[in-house]
Amino acid sequence: MSEVKIFAGTNSQALAQKIAKSYGKKLGDLTMSKFSDGEMSPSFDESIRGCTVFIIQSTNPPSDNLLELCLMIDAAKRASAYKVCAVIPYFGYARQDRKDRPRVSIAAKLIANMLTSAGADRIMTCDLHAGQIQGFFDIPLDHLNGSAIFAPYLSTLRLKDMIFAAPDVGGVARARSFAKHFEVEMVVCDKHRKRANEVASMQVIGDVEGKDVILVDDLVDTAGTLCKAAQIITEKGANSVRAIVTHGVLSGKAYENIENSVLEELVVTDTIPLKQQSSKIRVLTVAELFGKAIHAVTGNTSISSLFI
């Protein structure tokens, strides 16, 4: 069995430190040099010949994070690593997973091709925007589930009349899985968009009166949809509204929107580092989840025990 070494990209240093500690190793030494024009040049500062290398990097915009990951994968392959696994806690560009209108890119497929061409032998990620993106890869992909992080936390809240809500039709399966686990009901917020990041109208399908509502989603960007859903649910008579979201992209006026919303709290994970602190945002770590998954992959054991 080859030696395991774990390295981190610039964007995921803090999370990578925690994953490495959970796994039981120190992060490997890697230098990311930059030319004056911003061109990146990674170099491994220790031998990785014959090693199984895990490179941890979320690929949220800007695109430098994605390019940096590809360069690190290429450097590892050229340094004679036995296997290279790209650990991508947040898989960026996943919202562009199909041609929903003419003359647009299927960016998620393009990113899959780039990572494979760079030399990745395996991908490990968490809560893809759409599960079918797994099929874009011709290499093994371990798709971890954030429910293993959120379910124990929700149990500690001891909410009397808990009910789950999908902020849009696309999130129904995600919300239903939580509802099934806690043996409660669920509702759906049906929204219509004029353009990206702008909700034109929304209505709630289901009864939320007197309920403690938990909105479930895979990512929160500007928080427009989430805050609007929370407002409408409150107007329908809900007792409280919270949100659990795996990836806190939080761009634009997201922090302002959340602070001014009726949300009791927004619970996210540390797949993406927060740009600023907020009294309404709670962060749970996925480090132990990824640490256990790396153990399972290197020990050739099942990762199904990590799912709820």
Residue with tokens 């760079």: 118
Could you tell me the residue range of the domain that residue 257 belongs to? Answer: 147-284
pLDDT of res. 194: 60
Within a domain: residue 292?
no
Task: Answer yes or no: do 90 and 160 share one domain.
Answer: no
Report how far residue 136's alpha carbon sits from residue 122's, in angstroms, rounded to the nearest whole number. Answer: 13
Number of domains composing the chain: 2
pLDDT of res. 199: 53
Within a domain: residue 297?
no
Task: Answer yes or no: do 208 and 273 share one domain.
Answer: yes
- Assign residue 117 the CATH number of its domain: 3.40.50.2020
Domain boundary among 127, 144, 161: 144
Within a domain: residue 203?
yes
pLDDT of res. 193: 59
Residue with tokens 């293993």: 148
Q: Is 191 a catalytic residue?
A: yes
Task: Answer yes or no: do 113 and 181 share one domain.
Answer: no
Task: Answer yes or no: do 133 and 173 share one domain.
Answer: no
pLDDT of res. 11: 93
| Cα three-residue angle 101-105-106, rounded to 5 degrees | 95
Q: Of the residues 83, 191, 211, 228, which is catalytic?
A: 191
Residues 275, 252: contact at Cβ < 8 Å?
Answer: no
pLDDT tens by residue, 170-189: 889 999 999 999 999 999 98
Task: Answer yes or no: do 130 and 161 share one domain.
Answer: no
Domain boundary among 113, 144, 175: 144
Within a domain: residue 137?
yes
Task: Answer yes or no: do 135 and 233 share one domain.
Answer: no
Task: Answer yes or no: do 35 and 157 share one domain.
Answer: no
Task: Answer yes or no: do 171 and 83 share one domain.
Answer: no
Low-confidence residues in the chain, pLDDT < 70: 191-201, 308
Q: Is the pTM of this model over 0.85?
A: yes
Task: Answer yes or no: do 255 and 220 share one domain.
Answer: yes
Residues 82, 51: contact at Cβ < 8 Å?
Answer: yes
pLDDT of res. 196: 61
Domain boundary among 99, 114, 144: 144
Task: Answer yes or no: do 31 and 136 share one domain.
Answer: yes
Within a domain: residue 178?
yes
**How do strand 30-34 and strand 40-44 relate by DSSP bridges?**
antiparallel
pLDDT tens by residue, 11-28: 999 999 999 999 999 999
* DSSP class per residue in 226-288: HHHHHHHHHHTT-SEEEEEEEEE---TTHHHHHHTSS-S-EEEETTS--SS--TTEEEE--HH
| Residues above pLDDT 70, as percent of the chain | 96
Task: Answer yes or no: do 260 and 130 share one domain.
Answer: no
Within a domain: residue 296?
no
